[in-house]
Amino acid sequence: MTTASDSNQRRRVTAGDVAERAGVSISTVSKALSGKGAVRYETKQRILAAADELGFQANHVATSLFTGRTNTIGVITSDQFGRLTVPVMLGAIEKLSEREIALVLCDGRGDPIREQHFIDSFLRRRVDGILVTGAGEFGRDSLRGDLPVPVVYAMSWSRDENDASVVPDDAEGSRMATRHLLSTGREKLVFISGPQRDDASRKRLAATREVLAERGLDLVHAPLFGEWSERWGRQAVKQVILSGVEFDGVVCASDQVARGATEALREAQIDVPRQVGVIGFDNWDVMVEASQPPLSTIDMSLHEVGAAAATALLEAIETGRLEPGIRRIDCEFIPRESTAVV
């Protein structure tokens, strides 16, 4: 037989019970437990003590009713393969998990119509914020400007200067790559990249030439633009060899290109790194470890990019303020055998 006492023991303790025990209003309990709003220290301690005594456990639904928060972030990505998005998202998830915030991931594919569909879905779900990620570091159009929740862009940056974006410091990464080759005594450098129209290609080329100019140098061959692929890396190196120019270093704007370049050099019986040093960009483990020899490269700190973007989004949710502009995260040089001095 179930007694009234048993029923009371099984009844979930509510915020109202805590309010009654602490002698305050339910809204004050909400402020104290959620951290939203000003509550005197003594009052907050009394509420926390009452909650502990009663065994109160706030659930996310109840909390959302108090604060307007759903503890959910909507994510729109255009990276169908996930190579760049996954490490960015891992960094974001690590930061968001500290606040027990869930993510809803949608594949926008860079299509404004699809993105708008997902935005509408997010707003119906009452998400607390939106994170937008891309398949590379390039400018993209802003989402519509009248959204009722904060938006942060990661990797792909918004062209609207009023938006907040977090990206790797691509230019400084390329400077690091070029300085490293120069530090090994190599001065006759060539540059191979993906499509010339890509922001990453232009930015990495400009940074490479900037460092060379500081030494009174320039590339020994016109920069080569093609695909972000191993095939293009092989083809580009063959073009350089056939041109007859002397070169002792290759700056590649991606690890895929760099792996293709090292293969072409090996096929031409040009020793890497004894005769020519090769450096990539991305630190994509599949490419750098499978290359012979393993590739020196630039790590874009994608985990840190995701964590920084999530932190900015959380701060905007908590304070209602989002600092506009582009924040750049430091890249890291990873030395391996392809640029060793032998």
- CA torsion through residues 150, 154, 160, 163, sign: positive
Q: How far apart are CA 131 and CA 115, in angstroms?
A: 12
Closest CA to 92 of 304, 305, 306, 303: 306
What pLDDT score does 5 carry? 40
For strand 297-299 and strand 332-334, is the pairing parallel, antiparallel, or unpaired? antiparallel
Do 331 and 172 touch, CB atoms closer than 8 A? yes
Q: How far apart are CA 202 and CA 43, in angstroms?
A: 58
Closest CA to 314 of 124, 130, 87: 130
Q: pLDDT 10s digit of each residue in the chain, 342 long? A: 444 444 444 456 777 788 888 898 877 877 777 665 677 878 888 888 888 888 776 554 444 444 456 789 999 988 766 778 889 989 999 988 888 888 888 888 888 899 999 999 998 888 999 999 988 778 899 987 678 899 999 998 999 999 999 999 999 999 999 999 999 999 999 999 999 999 999 999 999 999 999 999 999 999 999 999 999 999 999 999 999 999 999 999 999 999 999 999 999 999 999 999 999 999 999 899 989 999 999 999 999 999 999 999 999 988 888 999 999 999 999 999 999 987
Q: What percent of the chain has pLDDT over 90?
A: 60
Do 51 and 14 touch, CB atoms closer than 8 A? no
Tokens 């926390």 belong to which residue? 48
pTM above 0.85, yes or no: no
What pLDDT score does 25 carry? 81
List the alpha helices (DSSP H) in 161-229.
Answer: 170-183, 199-214
What pLDDT score does 2 carry? 43
Q: Quick: pLDDT tens for 106-131.
A: 888 888 899 999 999 998 888 999 99
In this structure, what token pair is assigned to residue 236?
């580009």
For strand 249-252 and strand 277-279, is the pairing parallel, antiparallel, or unpaired? parallel
Q: How far apart are CA 28 and CA 47, in angstroms?
A: 9
Do 176 and 331 touch, CB atoms closer than 8 A? yes
In this structure, what token pair is assigned to residue 281?
């960009």
What pLDDT score does 81 carry? 62
Q: How far apart are CA 20 and CA 22, in angstroms?
A: 6
